[in-house]
Amino acid sequence: MDPLNKANINTANEDEFGRDPLFAVAPRTLRVRAPGKINASFHVGPLRDDGYHGVASTYLAVSRYEEVIATTKPGTAPTDITVSISDTSSLDADALAGIPLNSGNLAVRAARLVADVAENPCGVHLEIIKHVPIAGGMGGGSADAAATLVACDALWHTGLSREELSLLGAELGADVPFALLGGAAVGLGVGDELTAALAPTPLHWVLVPAGFGLSTPVVYGRLDDLRASAGCTAVEPSQVDAEVLAALRAGDPHALAQCLHNDLQAAAESLAPSLSAVLAQGQELGALASLVSGSGPTVAFLAESSERAGELAEALAKYGHTAWAVEGPVHGAHLVP
């Protein structure tokens, strides 16, 4: 169709909100799944003038997923974006009750970003199924945002590439582009400068969430305080450890166990001393290595195999811990048939 003629037809048929009514005949629903993440390595630089810290991190998407069920609301303005938390969420009800259901929710902000660039947006309702710990250092809110970007792009026929969606996601936070990408990746800058890393063989982990959350800015602040009190001068990181990338490339859990590292772990343990006992207990029960994921307080244990991960999860559960056996890397945000 000639572009001019197409434009004329659309203009002639636009409704009061400037939408083509062909896209507003009946509600459409899509389900999108996006993974949580752990950091196999995490190096943090000094506090910068802009209030951020430079990082060099190795991200790994793992099989603990958030899901967003997005449903269009035909005949409504694109500003009519609502959100709810699904009853099928597996997290504690008290924690779920604290999730904002307004513009404080990253998913709502993600939908607005896509609406701003879509030709024919309408209102949308976002039902979020939560499985990734809240304020747990696994990027659950970022996964919600990534899933929403993919869902709204498909619902409104926006036709954005993954790179374009990542640029929108970067406006919401450094972890959103990685939740879109998935797999394994090196993150530089504030974590948003991503380069895919080769990790063809899944590795097996056990995650132990805490019954509380930790504020990411507070954890970074505690790291700054600990460094200052120890007289340490942090260096701006420019790359991740080559040993970590080699271990991921080889799919070798024993090699990776020797080089797992998180600069934020000491700060997280300082704020939540109970994490130290959990970390030690997991290793006593057979984990190859352990670390706090990101800013915490979720703890990740590396296992030798899927079978060993299952055994470790069962052993930790007998001691009263919630424990999930997962694998990674896995795909980023994607439509669920």
- Tell how many helices (H) and how many strands (E) occur in the chain: 12, 12
pLDDT surpassing 80 at residue 297 = yes
Instruction: Quote the pLDDT of residue 82.
Output: 97
Q: Which residues contact 230 (CB under 8 A, 6 or more apart)?
A: none
pLDDT surpassing 70 at residue 24 = no
Domain spans of the chain, in order of start? 3-192+331-336, 203-328
Question: What is the percentage of the chain residues whose pLDDT exceeds 90?
Answer: 88
Return d(Cα 152, Cα 122) in angstroms, integer.
10
Q: What is the pLDDT of residues 115-163, one digit of tens each?
A: 999 999 999 999 999 999 999 999 999 999 999 999 999 999 999 999 9
Common-topology check for domains 3-192+331-336 and 203-328: no
- The band of 190, judged by pLDDT with boundaries at 50, 70 and 90, is confident
Q: What is the pLDDT of residues 247-284, one digit of tens each?
A: 999 999 999 999 999 999 999 999 999 999 999 999 99
Mean pLDDT of the chain: 92
> What does the radius of gyration of the chain's CA atoms come to, in whole angstroms?
21
Cβ(34)–Cβ(90) below 8 Å: no
Instruction: Quote the pLDDT of residue 192.
Output: 82
Instruction: Quote the pLDDT of residue 204.
Output: 98
Which is catalytic among the residues 130, 144, 153, 175? 175
Return d(Cα 135, Cα 271) in angstroms, integer.
14
Instruction: Quote the pLDDT of residue 142.
Output: 97
Instruction: Quote the pLDDT of residue 174.
Output: 85
CA dihedral of 137, 329, 237, 171, whole degrees rounded to 10: -60
Specify the range with the lowest mean pLDDT, choosing from 15-29, 188-202, 296-310.
15-29
- The band of 337, judged by pLDDT with boundaries at 50, 70 and 90, is confident
- In 3D space, the residue among 191, 194, 231, 233 whose CA is nearest the CA of residue 52 turns out to be 191
- In 3D space, the residue among 245, 262, 337 whose CA is nearest the CA of residue 299 turns out to be 262
Return d(Cα 184, Cα 198) in angstroms, integer.
7
Cβ(183)–Cβ(329) below 8 Å: yes
Instruction: Quote the pLDDT of residue 26.
Output: 87
Which is catalytic among the residues 37, 130, 192, 263? 37
Asked whether the whole model's pTM tops 0.95, one would answer no
Return d(Cα 141, Cα 207) in angstroms, integer.
17
Specify the range with the lowest mean pLDDT, choosing from 80-84, 150-154, 172-176, 308-312.
172-176
Return d(Cα 9, Cα 20) in angstroms, integer.
9
Q: Domain 203-328 class?
A: alpha beta
The tokens for 137 are 């250092």
Instruction: Quote the pLDDT of residue 14.
Output: 52
pLDDT surpassing 50 at residue 2 = no
Active site residue 175: yes
CATH 3.30.230.10 fits 3-192+331-336, yes or no: yes
Active site residue 37: yes
pLDDT surpassing 80 at residue 21 = no
